[in-house]
């Protein structure tokens, strides 16, 4: 009988090592599972952070130069801009997919190649979807932060600071979520490379 020491215990014929590592693929499975949980959490929080973003400020509006300005309450909400709506929808789709892919990944312990390929293709689609949503939201955010003097769009982040900070936080969270999906694609490519050797 072939006996080896393993962390203070013994294993016969290498059986224990396979149980711990899942037959050589457990480390990758564990990191894939962790990345999917991370992608789920980050896209969920990004969608929520921007989805609840709202700020009301009282803004002085001059009517006539001889009279004092009229104080008008103005509200900034995420759904006033289509780019922010797209961002929230994109993160919601990615979050839902991440939850579904977690279940499918756990169900695919047998290693069905067709399902693994579909999940990898959908991971790539989530990267593209999230990057497009982040690009749209960032473009609008930069205009809100700096304005555009050529078309006389004034900056608004000097008035709605809290709103803009929340948009920036949602963008960072979503970007981290898209990086998690990208790393899932990289893991799939590495697995494919290992199998081809």
Cβ(57)–Cβ(71) below 8 Å: no
Give the CA angle between residues 168, 101, 174 to the nearest 5°.
Answer: 5
* Whole-number Å distance between alpha carbons of 31 and 91: 22
pLDDT in tens, 137-168: 999 999 999 998 888 888 999 999 999 999 99
* Whole-number Å distance between alpha carbons of 112 and 132: 31
DSSP reduced 3-state for 5: strand
Whole-number percent of the chain with pLDDT over 90: 59
Q: What is the pTM of this model?
A: 0.80
pLDDT band at residue 66 under the 50/70/90 scheme: confident
What sign for the dihedral angle of Cα 126, 128, 130, 133?
negative
């Amino acid at each position: 009988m072939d006996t080896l020491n393993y962390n203070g215990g013994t294993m016969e014929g290498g059986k224990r090592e396979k149980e711990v590592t899942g037959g050589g693929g457990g480390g990758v499975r564990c990191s894939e599972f962790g990345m999917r949980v991370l992608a789920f959490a980050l896209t969920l929080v990004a969608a929520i952070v921007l989805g609840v973003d709202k700020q009301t400020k009282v803004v002085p509006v001059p009517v006539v130069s001889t009279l004092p300005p009229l104080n008008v309450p103005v509200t900034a909400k995420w759904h006033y801009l289509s780019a922010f709506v797209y961002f929230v929808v994109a993160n919601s789709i990615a979050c839902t997919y991440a939850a579904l892919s977690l279940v499918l990944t756990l169900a695919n312990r047998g290693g069905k190649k067709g399902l693994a390929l579909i999940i990898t293709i959908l991971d790539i689609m989530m990267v593209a979807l999230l990057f497009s949503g982040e690009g749209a939201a960032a473009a609008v955010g930069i205009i809100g932060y700096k304005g555009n003097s050529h078309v006389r769009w004034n900056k608004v982040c000097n008035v709605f600071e809290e709103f803009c900070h929340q948009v920036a936080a949602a963008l960072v969270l979503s970007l981290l979520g898209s990086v998690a999906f990208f790393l899932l694609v990289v893991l799939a490519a590495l697995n494919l490379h290992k199998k081809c050797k």
